[in-house]
């Protein structure tokens, strides 16, 4: 296979393969790309005191060289394994010019010492993927991780990756903190979403049948799923690739190589932000779609839901079945959607809107409690008072006194 040495924009060299019409690195800067993606976003993000690195597709060895530089600078011991199906001859390595002659000799001596000292065991086994994609394996446990336990609070993460070993690595790395589901491509992921409640989706980009970009676009354009955050995990690191993912609605874009610690932190931050928002919503009678939703589709759906309930505010017979019909959704889908956006069931949503109106009517001082109960869809003033206390925190008569000051 012919390989041609070319200079990139930052002055460092890369290899071009005419047969594949591909470069080993970004033409905007081979060293710049490796430093940013492999070292800054990968190695430095790993909390492990002694990281273990597996690079599938060793390529030119630039990543390994920068890892050695970083190891010496940070004084960290790093176990590094590189695999390459088409290794370069030493003459090509020298012509690339990444390493001087003196440095080459030093590396040879150090490598000999490392080989004598290091023998892999089962704990150091890593999971590989297709060539040119690299993954950091952190075998040390994360410390001081704070997250709720219990199935409902753990959250469910759907991992979409065509490589079985990488799926397994991600699932095993996240399983201690979250429930996980797996899919091998975009179509399989959509099938999983039909039968499972998912909190966050992590997807690769390059997959057969349906890739990650099409999957993300499908999720964000479907009213049933548009609220689910999507994290794209990809070896495609050019700005245009990242923008493409973000423009179809991805909530985050993590370049490969990655550290499980980084992914875990991002998931926790997303779930924590959502939880705090739902807690604030639960403490208030206000239903403000623009403050509780993250996209236009959900905001529009919530506004329509509020309008429908308000139009039927005094209808005693207004049920969740009728609510779903007017929303053009099945009862179960409406329940799941409102639960995902507001944390409340459809019946609780109806009551929140009704009690918001009840507080306004009581505060006006123009109506009795019995009249207000009828105006907001209750045929029993005593039942209205019981429910009012549950949602507002006091009886209607007490609320009137407080309103008068």
Q: What is the pLDDT along the chain (405 residues), one digit of tens a residue?
A: 788 989 998 889 998 888 778 888 888 888 898 888 888 888 888 877 788 888 877 788 888 888 888 888 887 888 888 877 778 887 788 788 886 545 544 544 444 444 444 444 433 333 333 333 344 444 444 444 444 434 445 799 999 999 888 899 899 999 999 999 999 999 999 999 999 999 999 999 999 999 999 999 999 999 999 999 999 988 777 788 888 888 899 999 988 778 888 899 999 999 998 888 888 888 888 888 888 888 899 999 999 999 999 999 999 999 999 999 999 999 999 999 999 999 999 999 999 999 999 999 999 999 999 999 999 999 999 999 999 998 899 999 999 988 887
pLDDT score recorded for residue 236:
77
pLDDT score recorded for residue 77:
83
* Domain assignment present for 84: yes
User: Domain ends where: 236, 265, 280?
Assistant: 280
Same domain, 364 and 273: no
* Domain assignment present for 144: no
Same domain, 217 and 170: yes
For residues 298 and 222, give the distance between their C-alpha atoms in angstroms, rounded to a whole number. Answer: 10
* Domain assignment present for 106: yes
CA 405 to chain centre: 48
Same domain, 292 and 395: yes
pLDDT score recorded for residue 258:
80
* Domain assignment present for 146: no
For residues 62 and 52, give the distance between their C-alpha atoms in angstroms, rounded to a whole number. Answer: 17
Residue 99, token pair as written in the block: 């390493």
Same domain, 49 and 156: no
* Domain assignment present for 41: yes
Strands (E), 97-220: 133-137, 156-160, 179-183, 200-204
User: Domain ends where: 137, 164, 197?
Assistant: 137
pLDDT score recorded for residue 100:
58
Same domain, 227 and 307: no
* Domain assignment present for 325: yes
Same domain, 305 and 265: no
Which residue in the block uniquely carries the two structure tokens 């296979």? 1
User: Domain ends where: 137, 159, 190?
Assistant: 137
Same domain, 262 and 319: no
Query: Domain containing 381 — which CATH number?
Result: 1.10.10.60
Same domain, 25 and 129: yes
Q: At what angle are helices 296-311 and 331-342 packed, to 10 degrees? A: 110
* Domain assignment present for 145: no
Same domain, 261 and 345: no
Q: How many domains does the chain have?
A: 3
Same domain, 199 and 242: yes
Same domain, 295 and 384: yes
Residue-range definition of the domain harbouring residue 121: 4-137
pLDDT score recorded for residue 153:
59
To 5 degrees, how large is the angle CA 159–CA 49–CA 115?
Answer: 95
* Domain assignment present for 394: yes
Neighbours of 247 (CB within 10 A): 11
Same domain, 8 and 133: yes
For residues 302 and 286, give the distance between their C-alpha atoms in angstroms, rounded to a whole number. Answer: 12
For residues 98 and 212, give the distance between their C-alpha atoms in angstroms, rounded to a whole number. Answer: 34
pLDDT score recorded for residue 131:
34
Neighbours of 284 (CB within 10 A): 11
Q: At what angle are helices 346-364 and 381-392 packed, to 10 degrees? A: 100
Which residue in the block uniquely carries the two structure tokens 């690299």? 134
């Amino acid at each position: 296979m012919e390989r041609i040495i070319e200079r990139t924009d930052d002055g460092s060299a890369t290899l071009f393969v005419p047969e594949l019409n591909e470069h080993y690195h970004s033409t905007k800067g081979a060293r710049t790309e490796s430093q940013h993606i492999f070292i800054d976003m990968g190695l430095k993000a790993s909390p492990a005191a002694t990281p273990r690195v597996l690079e599938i597709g060793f390529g030119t060895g630039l990543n390994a060289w920068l890892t050695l530089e970083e190891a010496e600078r940070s004084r960290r011991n790093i176990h590094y394994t590189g695999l390459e199906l088409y290794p370069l001859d030493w003459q090509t390595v020298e012509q690339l010019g990444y390493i001087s002659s003196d440095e080459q000799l030093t590396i040879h001596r150090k490598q000999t010492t490392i080989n004598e000292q290091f023998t892999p065991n089962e704990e150091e086994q890593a999971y590989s993927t297709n060539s040119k994609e690299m993954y950091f394996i952190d075998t040390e446990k994360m410390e001081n991780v704070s997250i709720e336990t219990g199935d409902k609070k753990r959250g469910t993460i759907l991992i979409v990756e065509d490589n079985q070993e990488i799926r397994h690595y991600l699932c095993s790395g996240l399983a201690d903190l979250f429930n996980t589901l797996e899919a091998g491509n975009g179509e399989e992921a959509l099938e999983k979403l039909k039968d499972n409640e998912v909190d966050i989706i992590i997807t690769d980009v390059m997959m057969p049948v349906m890739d990650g970009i099409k999957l993300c676009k499908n999720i964000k354009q479907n009213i049933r799923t548009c609220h689910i955050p999507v994290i794209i995990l990809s070896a495609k690191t050019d700005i245009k690739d990242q923008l493409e993912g973000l423009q179809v609605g991805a909530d985050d874009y993590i370049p490969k190589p990655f550290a499980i610690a980084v992914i875990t932190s991002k998931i926790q931050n997303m779930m924590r932000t959502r939880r705090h928002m739902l807690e604030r919503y639960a403490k208030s009678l206000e239903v403000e779609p623009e403050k509780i939703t993250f996209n236009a589709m959900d905001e529009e759906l919530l506004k329509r839901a509020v309008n429908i309930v308000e139009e039927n505010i005094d209808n005693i017979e207004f049920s969740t079945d009728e609510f779903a019909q007017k929303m053009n959704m099945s009862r179960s889908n409406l329940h799941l959607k409102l639960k995902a956006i507001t944390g409340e069931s459809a019946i609780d949503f109806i009551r929140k809107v009704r009690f918001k109106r009840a507080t306004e009517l009581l505060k006006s001082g123009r109506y009795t409690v019995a009249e207000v109960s009828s105006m907001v869809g209750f045929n029993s003033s005593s039942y209205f008072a019981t429910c009012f206390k549950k949602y507002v925190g006091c009886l209607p008569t007490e609320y009137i006194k407080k309103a008068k000051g």
